[in-house]
Structure 1
Amino acid sequence: MSMLFISGLTNVETTVAIPGFPLPYAPVHYPFHGIQSTVSGVGVNVAKALHRLGHSTQLHSLIGPDLAGDTVMMALEQAGMSTHGMSRILSATPQSVILYDPDGRRLIQVDLKECQETPLPDGYEPSLQQCELAILCNINFSRSLLATAKRLNKLIACDVHVL
């Protein structure tokens, strides 16, 4: 079993089924069983997939001290994943809302809070030292980890989105 270090976005994602784009205005819509919320984000999605494949994952991410942050911690624990690398230092946990239609078209609204200007707190280096692979997702707080992973002679993987 490989030990994998993952640094990436964690958010609470809400998906909403709509009849189509453009969405006609109405003061209230009732998409019965069409609204779902889950813990998501590239970091969580990568960590969860690799965890299910049998790897030991150490996810490092930023969340807030709010209900959404509590939900993140509970979801990771229920999945049998470590919460050691989760830092509750943001004012609130990032969230996203995704509207999607029957044809698969979607509109994504992402609120990163202050994720892009907040670095990971110190203390991640021991986990990075022990890992076989550093997976550094495309979010600003992962950038500073590149130099550390290189200095530690770690294999590095990253992701690319929406080119």
Structure 2
Amino acid sequence: MTAGSDAADAGEPNPAGDTPAILSIGAAAIDEWYAVSNLPEPDGGAFAGEVTSAFGGVGANVAVALDRLGRDTGLVSRVGDDEYGRRALAYLDETGVDGTHVAVGDDPHTRSLILRDPDGERAIVTAGESFRGLRLDDDALAAMADTDAVFLTAYAPDRAARRVLDRVESLRESAVDSADAPPALVFDLSGSVEELVGRGTEPETIHRFLHRADLFVADGVAAPAFFGSAEAAVERIADSQRRASRSDPAPRSRSRRGPTWPRAVLTHGADGMTAVAGGEVAEFDAFDVETVDTTGAGDAFTAGLIDRWIAGASEDVSARSHADRDDVASGVRFAAAVAAINCTSRFTQPGLPTRSEVESFLAERGFGAD
């Protein structure tokens, strides 16, 4: 079965019949690239010296990034029954990402028009209703009980986001009286509030994720749009974590790979990252690389955090402070390396690194294995 009721199986099912360790819920889009002379001002123009296409979409980007790092991942999505949708499915079949819960609908496939100037600055316009029509069926919801972590982007339609949150909360409640472990929950506040209205996750639901996600990620556009400013975002998140810690000093979620605890990271592009863990705030620098293309860097960064903080959590975490700076720093550093390497290649997914490439990158800069 698939994640929607409007098609039979799409993508290649897991041959072993096992649920992937990490489920990523988001679009598998086609990016149409225009290398323009300049990003046009209102009423202005530009010339495209090159036009090409590549594979993208936040959900697919995170899933493929984790797959490159050696993680067992699956995608929950919905594609269009058209040329773009068929291309997306064919591409997914070539990756290690499980496509059991990818549905096919009648709507035009989701795709993005990306204008990129010679300095790498971008403007993105998204069209196509296929992902907006995502509806989580019982099979997709049932799979969450057997997975270690669920990742969700704010571009997911609100009805789907609420069903994910309700499902994870139900699993957490059930785990109190059983030996089962609920999945960790990761939420990416991608896109400004205005961009998400009528299309993605609504502010009220985002607020619920802020207080219930094990990892909350937001970029330099989304955070100020939702919280009012980057400073207000940090203050609000830190305060919510402190209040949660006072009411429940123990880690409040536990994946099958060990305890997790509320963390958040706000990204600022080349200006670095702000991590908030256990109410404590820490600033980190981004790696300096020869940037070719920054598209998808945030998704690569999020995948790196999931790899280190969620999928790679160990039993030793329970013995640490909720804001153990070494643990926070190593996770952010690893994720920043994943993002930096990705920026050295064109398009989003071709440059996503393997684990050995990330380790070599860090070693060259004086950081050994953590």
Unaligned stretches of 5+ residues in structure 1: none
Task: Provide the C-alpha distance between the structure 2 equivalents of 1:88 and 1:44, rounded to a whole number of angstroms.
Answer: 15
Larger Rg: 2
Contact 1:8 1:142 in 2 (8 A): no
Task: Provide the C-alpha distance between the structure 2 equivalents of 1:7 and 1:118, rounded to a whole number of angstroms.
Answer: 10
Question: In the alignment, what sits opposite 2:36?
Answer: 18
Question: In the alignment, what sits opposite 1:158?
Answer: 187
Contact 2:36 2:48 in 1 (8 A): no
Question: In the alignment, what sits opposite 2:352?
Answer: none
After superposition, residues 5-154 of structure 1 pair within 5 angstroms as 5-22=23-40, 25=45, 31=49, 34-113=50-129, 115-116=131-132, 118-138=134-154, 139-140=156-157, 141-153=160-172, 154=183
**Superposition CA RMSD, Å:** 2.1
> Which protein, 1 or 2, shows the higher relative CO under an 8 Å CA cutoff with sep ≥ 6?
1
Task: Provide the C-alpha distance between the structure 2 equivalents of 1:41 and 1:25, rounded to a whole number of angstroms.
Answer: 27
Task: Provide the C-alpha distance between the structure 2 equivalents of 1:121 and 1:90, rounded to a whole number of angstroms.
Answer: 17
Task: Provide the C-alpha distance between the structure 2 equivalents of 1:54 and 1:130, rounded to a whole number of angstroms.
Answer: 19
TM-score w.r.t. length of structure 1: 0.86
Measured against aligned partners, the alpha-carbon deviations of 1:76-111 in whole angstroms (never above 9, x if no partner) come to 111132211111124121111001111222221101
The one-letter amino acid paired with 2:188 is: D
Worse overlay, 113-122 or 83-92: 113-122
Task: Provide the C-alpha distance between the structure 2 equivalents of 1:70 and 1:83, rounded to a whole number of angstroms.
Answer: 13
TM-score w.r.t. length of structure 2: 0.40
The one-letter amino acid paired with 2:108 is: A
Give the Å deviation of 1:59: 0.6
CA spacing shift, 1:114–1:93, aligned 2, 3 Å:
closer
The one-letter amino acid paired with 1:16 is: Y
CA spacing shift, 1:123–1:46, aligned 2, 3 Å:
same
The one-letter amino acid paired with 1:135 is: F
Worse overlay, 75-84 or 46-55: 75-84
CA spacing shift, 1:129–1:17, aligned 2, 3 Å:
same
Task: Provide the C-alpha distance between the structure 2 equivalents of 1:91 and 1:49, rounded to a whole number of angstroms.
Answer: 27
Task: Provide the C-alpha distance between the structure 1 equivalents of 2:32 and 2:96, rounded to a whole number of angstroms.
Answer: 23
Task: Provide the C-alpha distance between the structure 1 equivalents of 2:48 and 2:171, rounded to a whole number of angstroms.
Answer: 53
CA spacing shift, 1:10–1:143, aligned 2, 3 Å:
farther
Give the Å deviation of 1:19: 0.6
Measured against aligned partners, the alpha-carbon deviations of 1:21-46 in whole angstroms (never above 9, x if no partner) come to 327658xx562xx2221221100000
The one-letter amino acid paired with 2:34 is: V
Task: Provide the C-alpha distance between the structure 1 equivalents of 2:39 and 2:48, rounded to a whole number of angstroms.
Answer: 16
- SS of aligned partner of 1:143: helix
The one-letter amino acid paired with 2:67 is: H
Count of matched residue pairs: 158
Query: Which is richer in strand?
Result: 1
Worse overlay, 104-113 or 69-78: 104-113
